[in-house]
Chains A and B, each alone.
Chain A
Amino acid sequence: MSEAMENAMANNDMLLDELDDDDPLNATGVSRKSLVIFFLIDTSGSMKGTKMGELNTVMEELIPEIRRVGEADTDVKVAVLTFSSRVMWMYSEPIAIEDFEWTRLRADGVTSMGAAFKELSIRMSRNSFLNSPTLSFAPVIFLMTDGYPSDDYKAGLEALQKNTWYKYGLKTALGIGKEANDDMLAEFTGSRDTVVHAYSGGQLAHLIKIIAVTSSQIGSKSMTLADSDHELGMEDVYEAKQKMLGQQIQEIVKSEGFDNTIPFDTGW
């Protein structure tokens, strides 16, 4: 039989299978819920050197680690937005975690955080980055910065706060070094509990991993029971995941006993 004929027959078989597929073993993967993890990363000039080196390395290592967090239920995608003088996405759309490859970032310029917030609020939409036809989990949004915004971040934050995905999203922030302003970061996450601070390179690596893994697991992993003496109402579960995340992050920070006395920028 010629190769062409064989191919034609194989195609025919496939067509037949599609038309009349009643094979109980022939399944596609279960429909998964989509989860997009947004990393908002400050790449301004002050991040130059050890901070950026540390961050690049930990992000490279992090990707394989969060690959399995979704297991059978969740399709995890990653989107990275960097901000310095310009606001830029690492890739033009969220990339499946299996296929994601970290592109090393370079630090330069000023801190256009407000512009980054605005850009995020535009992309976090059904018509843009959150266009999965299947059911979605609320996104995970993780902000990392070492300084104070050089633009009008409040305007950007206001735009973001009007975004429903942001409202339900799991928001965390990591301040790097002594310049980062935790009050401002708490404005972004909505609570102090979900803001952590890294003062040394080791802490930075450790905290990025813990926060990324913890926040992307909430919702898809087995969880402990909430203490409740009554049937849960909608008001009981409102922002429950954000609160749970804050609690878990604080527990981790406490148990690690981070030494906050030596600033990131000194003692190298």
Chain B
Amino acid sequence: MVELQIGQYIDMEYGGAARVVQELGSGGQGIVYLVEFNDMQYALKWYDIDKIKNPAAFRKNIETNINDGPPSKQFLWPKYLTKPLSTGGFGYLMDVRPKNFDSFVDILNTYKLDIDPLTGRAAKVPVQFKNLRAMVTAVINIVNAFRQLHRAGKSYQDLNDGGFFIDTATGEILVCDCDNIAPDFANFGIGGKPGYMAPEVVRGIEKPNVQTDKYSLAVVLFKLLFRGDPMEGDKVVKDICLTESAELRHYGKEAVFVYDPNDDSNRPVRGIHDNVIKFWKIYPEYIRQAFIHSFTTGIAEPNKRIIENEWQKLFVRLRSEIITCKCGRTNFSVQFTENADHTFRCPKCGSDTPSMGFTNLDYRVPLYFGCRFYACQTERGSDDFTAVTGELVENKLKAGMIGIKNLSQKTWRAKMPDGKFYPVGPGKGFPIWGGIVIDFGDDAKAYLNEANLADAPTSPNDPT
């Protein structure tokens, strides 16, 4: 391949030239350089055209994607094409990844390498999510990014751990390597990364498409939550060496999920797959079932794979089932003991965390300092999982009094101990008490005790 020299100028398709500043990294299809173009810094992906089947069609597809624009702001999308060199080499510019994002690979490794530029020696720096909410938010964001992409009629084709950057403090994500994204049913030669490819692609009977993306997405989600390979268990490890035929069997023809309820031949191995063994016990049943479905039924029946919207709902629920107990223990509500009054008892310190029921949700939302309600929970018909509409706070004037603050744009109504409903405008709050009922409007309500719903007004126009 033709490598670029530092300081070299590369002509851009629509005029001007980008100057190569330094190499940032290399991948299966080429090298990424830091470049300057019009006084701005960009990343230039420069292709090894020998590794691309039909460079002209590949380039044309990137051009189409540039013109179409990104499906959401979560994509590090191609921005400008370079002119092809006489040798055929070409590339495209994209934004540089912001510093606060870590690569998914580093998150899976739990560290990144800090390399001394002088000696080339590497030191390990830990990489971990700041808190559980950030981690589950990252999962929701990944799912949502692919929902947007698939809605735009395109497939990613090469979903793998190298394709994401994540802000471990907030759960914001960036999808990179967007150059193989193609209209559904089109493919420009990419197969995918071993371990992430759908079984039908491994078997050579299907090319990457939206349905194979869904399989790869499930692998990515599994890796992020369970920190292991969904298909690598006893059966695979016994082979010792992952030869080509072993790969074809274990990831294609005879793929068996490590927790397949009807086939225990491939269970995780203690000492090798400790993460998976530990985390499988921690997640609630509905999450486990979703992965069981993905990696049993979903292996042979691509059309039955879990759709992104379904994943999104499951993980929004999971995020709302996080409890940070008074003692500091943070975990999902299923790891607490649920009492008859729907409070959750901490097995470590014994204190109880109350929870709210919602008329339009089939799960309880635990209440602890800093817990949040989202638009998709308080507003009927909304699937907005980012807009925070409520938060549990302490009254600034009365220490110890806890209440809920309305962070939405709407006026809610809350039932007070006198049995009457009072309006709670945006930015206002109200204390929590045993008989509380919150009327978000549009027949969406929340309560501590379901019995109190009975005498709640059915419409916000009822007398207060």
- A: residues with CB less than 8 A from B are 21-25, 27-31, 33, 63-64, 67-68, 71-73, 98, 126, 133-138, 164-165, 168, 213, 217, 219-226, 228, 230-232, 234, 236-241, 248, 251-252, 255
Contacts and interface: CB of A to CB of B under 8 A. Distances in A.
B144 interface: no
B242 A230 contact: no
A213 B332 CA distance: 43
Contacts of B275: 27-28, 30-31
B232 A31 contact: yes
Interface in B235-255: 236-237, 239-245, 247-248, 252
Contact of B242 (A63, A126, A135, A236): A135
B416 to A, nearest CB: 37
A252 B48 CA distance: 10
B125 to A, nearest CB: 12
Contact of A238 (B25, B120, B160, B245): B245
B108 to A, nearest CB: 4
Nearest to A242: B244
Contacts of A63: 120
A28 B135 contact: no
A239 B228 CA distance: 27
A219 B162 CA distance: 14
B286 interface: no
Given A24-B332, A71-B162, A30 B229 contact: yes
Given A223-B192, A232-B252, A30 B335 contact: no
17 contacts: A21-B278, A22-B281, A23-B330, A24-B135, A27-B227, A30-B109, A73-B161, A133-B272, A135-B239, A168-B244, A224-B51, A224-B190, A225-B201, A234-B245, A237-B245, A251-B50, A255-B1
B193 to A, nearest CB: 4
B195 interface: yes
Contacts of A73: 161, 195
Nearest to B107: A72
A234 B135 contact: no
- Name which of A67, A168, A232 has the most chain B CB atoms within 10 A of its CB: A232
Contacts of B161: 71-73
B194 A68 contact: no
Interface of B: 1-2, 25-29, 50-53, 104-106, 108-111, 113, 115, 120, 122, 124, 128-129, 131-132, 135, 158, 160-162, 187, 189-195, 201-205, 207, 223, 227-229, 232, 236-237, 239-245, 247-248, 252, 271-275, 278-279, 281-283, 330-332, 335
A25 B227 contact: no
A195 to B, nearest CB: 19
Given A30-B228, A134-B272, A222 B190 contact: yes
A135 B240 contact: yes
Contact of B236 (A30, A135, A213, A230): A135
Nearest to A167: B243
Ranked 9 nearest A-B pairs via Cβ: A232-B204, A221-B28, A237-B244, A225-B191, A72-B108, A72-B105, A64-B120, A228-B204, A222-B193
A226 B242 contact: no
A98 B241 contact: no
Contacts of B281: 22
Contacts of B26: 213
A64 B23 CA distance: 14
A134 B237 contact: yes
A224 B135 CA distance: 32
Given A222-B162, A236-B204, A248-B51, 5 more contacts: A30-B223, A31-B232, A222-B191, A224-B52, A239-B244
B109 A237 contact: no
Contacts of A31: 228-229, 232, 272-273, 275
A225 B29 CA distance: 13
Nearest to A250: B50
Contact of A28 (B105, B110, B162, B332): B110
B89 to A, nearest CB: 10
A88 B13 CA distance: 54
B108 A29 contact: yes
